[in-house]
Structure formats: C-alpha cells, structure tokens
Amino acid sequence: MNFFALKRRTVIWFAAISVAVNGFFPVVWIFLTSLKTETELIRSPITWLPEAATLANYETAFTAQPILRFMWNSLVVATASTALCVLVSALAAYALTRLRMPHRNLIMSVLLAVAMFPLISLMVPLFKVMRELGLLNTYFALILPYAVLSMPVCTLVMASFFQDIPPDLEAAAMVDGCSRVGALFRVVVPLSAPGVFTAAILAFVNAWDEFLLALTMMNRVNMRTLSVGITLYQGEFAFPWPLISAALIIAIVPICILIAAFQERVVGGLTAGGVKG
C-alpha cells in the first residue's frame, strides 16, 4: 500500500515538473540571459547561471529603442479594439441567443468562417484600403481589423453565457419598464459578467500578440506595437542576445500578470470557443 502511494506521488511530481519545465523553461532561460554580459555570453562552454548578474541590459533596453512607446501603442490598440469588439459582439450574441431569429445557425457559421480567414489574404487588400484612406500609421489601421478578428470567438463565448440566463429575469425587467436593449445592458450583461470578461481577455491577448498586420500597417518606428518593436533590437547581422532578452522580459511581464490573474477565465474562454462551438 505504501509503495503504491509512493509511486503515485512520484508520477504526480513527474507530471507537474514536466508541464512546468515545458512551459516555463524558455522564459526562465531568457531571464537568465538578460542578466548576463556580452562577454560572459560568448564563453565556451556556455554558463547556465549568470556569474556576475547585471541589470545593465534593462537600462539599455529602455534607451536603445522607445520600448515604452511600443508598449503604449500596444495598449491603446489592444484596449480600443477590445472595447469595440466586446460591444459589437455582445449585441450580436444577444440577437443570436435571446431573440427568435431566422437563419441563426447560418449566421453563426458565417461568423466562424471569418475567424478562419487567412490573415495574409486579408493583409494585401487591407493595406491598399488603409493606404487609400490615409490610415496607415494610425491606430485605426489596427483597431478596426483586430476588433473584427476577435469578433467570432467573443460572440461565441458571450453567446454561451447569455444562453444560461433565465428569460424570466429579462421579462421581469421589461415589465418594470425596461426596453429590450435596456434589459440587455441592465440584466443580461451584468449577469454574464464572467463571460463578457473572458471575451475581453481573449480579444486583448489576440490584439497584443498580433504581428503580421502590425508589421504591415505601421512602418513608422514610434507607431510600432510591442510585438514588432521587439524585433528592432537586432542589428542586421548581430544579435545582442542579452539586450533582446531584457526587452523580451519587459514585454512579457504585462501578459504574464494578465494571464496569472485571470487564468481560470482564460482557460474557460478558450475551450468555450472550441469544444462547445
């Protein structure tokens, strides 16, 4: 009996360690790199732990490129596109779940199909459209497409939450003089706050991580978002890895805080879009 208990504990420890190492090792490794000096870096064999840890790379990371400006751009674009996406998706999800609409499944399918559009196909004509409208190098060039790209998953997530709210509550609100749209914002949305919140996190992470459109629509350095800005630390032939690592760590911290704080929501949201849909 004791032997089996021991074996079971071993298996569980092995499982925990392998999942954690797989997930954390790359980030831990660049954190260690970010503390090293260039001279330590080229030693052979390489050192694993930094011998004389230094924060100098972080200082350089802030001065070599306008990384705070990149972060600000990412924040503006991600926040605005998330707000737009959640608002539009909430209206759509309400129409699709709470109203007797014809062709509901067809509309859902069209939405899902959009989620799977290859971004590169969209990038080519969208670049032309934005150029003609003079919107290149403006936040709008990213806010609008990002809002659309996250719309399908946000609609799905919110629809799955809206469905679970008893219609009686809404009816009661309307008897009390609420309009239908009033009931949506005063009853349905507050009651499905976790769903709305989940949708918002997913949209935010999608926008924060996007690279191809950000690379295409913003070619002025001070309009670059973080995901593109990080690639500017490399020289044409030289890769200053400690500096790049420091910049990466600075860029990863906000996203780490976000997912650590809301991990259950994120997991729930990811799977609501896939497994339920």
Partner 1 sequence: MTDSAISSKKDLSERALGALLLLPAALLLLGIVVYPIATLFWSSLHGVDNANVAAGEQWIGLGNYLRAFEDDRFWASSWHTVLYIIVTVPASLVVGLGLALLANLPFRWQWPVRLGLLLPWALPLVFAGLIFRWFFEYQTGVVNDVIVRLGFEPLQWLSSPNLAIAAICITIIWKSSSFMALMLLAGLQTIPKSLYEAAEVDGASRWQQFTEITLPMLRPAIFVALIFRTITAIQTFDIPYAMTGGGPGDATETLAMYIHKTTLDFLDFGYGSALAALMFVLSMAATSGYLKYTRRSAGRGEE
Among 53, 55, 68, 129, binds partner 1 (CB under 8 A): 129
Instruction: Yes or no: say if 224 and 251 are a contact pair by the CB < 8 Å rule.
Output: no
Segment 168 to 207, residues that bind partner 1, using CB under 8 A = 180-181, 205
Segment 106 to 125, residues that bind partner 1, using CB under 8 A = 107, 109, 111-114, 116-125
Amino acid of residue 134: G
Q: Near partner 1 by CB under 8 A, which window of 51-59, 60-68, 127-135, 164-172?
A: 127-135
Q: Near partner 1 by CB under 8 A, which window of 19-27, 56-64, 169-177, 192-200?
A: 19-27
When asked if residue 92 is in the footprint of partner 1 (CB under 8 A), the reply is: yes
Nearest-approach distance from CB 142 to partner 1, in angstroms: 11
- Calpha distance 79→216 (Å, rounded): 20
Q: Near partner 1 by CB under 8 A, which window of 59-67, 162-170, 186-194, 260-268?
A: 260-268
Q: For tokens 């208990």, what's the residue? A: 5
Segment 55 to 84, residues that bind partner 1, using CB under 8 A = none
Q: Near partner 1 by CB under 8 A, which window of 49-57, 59-67, 91-99, 186-194?
A: 91-99
Nearest-approach distance from CB 59 to partner 1, in angstroms: 20
Cβ proximity to partner 1, 2 vs 121, nearer residue: 121
- Helix residue ranges per DSSP H, the chain: 2-34, 38-41, 56-64, 67-98, 104-115, 119-132, 140-162, 167-175, 180-183, 189-191, 193-209, 212-217, 226-229, 241-261, 263-271
Amino acid of residue 155: T
Q: Near partner 1 by CB under 8 A, which window of 44-52, 57-65, 158-166, 169-177?
A: 44-52
Segment 230 to 249, residues that bind partner 1, using CB under 8 A = 230-231, 239, 241, 244-245, 248
Hey, is 173 helix, strand or coil?
helix
Size of the site for partner 1 (CB under 8 A): 94
Residue 262 has which token pair? 């809301």
- Calpha distance 74→80 (Å, rounded): 10
Angle of helix 67-98 relative to helix 193-209, nearest 10 degrees, comes to 140
When asked if residue 35 is in the footprint of partner 1 (CB under 8 A), the reply is: no
Cβ proximity to partner 1, 125 vs 166, nearer residue: 125
Nearest-approach distance from CB 235 to partner 1, in angstroms: 13
- Calpha distance 208→78 (Å, rounded): 6
Segment 209 to 228, residues that bind partner 1, using CB under 8 A = 209-212, 216, 227-228
Within the chain, what is the greatest distance between any pair of CA atoms? 77
Among 7, 10, 20, 164, binds partner 1 (CB under 8 A): 20
Angle of helix 241-261 relative to helix 67-98, nearest 10 degrees, comes to 30
